[in-house]
Amino acid sequence: IISENDLIASSGGTVVNFANPFREKPAVAISAQNMSTGDFFELSSVTKSGFIVNFFNASGTGISRSFDYLAKGYGYQH
């Protein structure tokens, strides 16, 4: 299990790299902060070594938000 708190995602999206990559692709959960009605996020490119998160407002425009994540997977690569 790897987690980080209070990260800031830029309006263009943020790449999160795990310090120790997993052996297999992990499950990733996001807890967004300071969201307004209609805001949403998308996870993409989830791999053994990280993921990308983008936040959007109700109109689909990229926005900056803070978030926590938790990644749970099997083992880690040496």
For the chain, state the CA radius of gyration.
13
Q: Could you tell me the pLDDT band of residue 70, with boundaries at 50, 70 and 90?
A: very high
At 11-43, the pLDDT tens digits run 999 999 999 999 999 999 999 999 999 999 999
Q: What mean pLDDT is predicted for residues 46-57?
A: 97
* Res 17: pLDDT: 96
CA atoms within 13 A on the CB side of 8: 3
C-alpha distance from residue 47 to each of 11, 42, 56, 77 (Å): 22, 15, 22, 12
Global pTM reads 0.89
CA distance from start to end of the chain? 16
Residues in the chain: 78
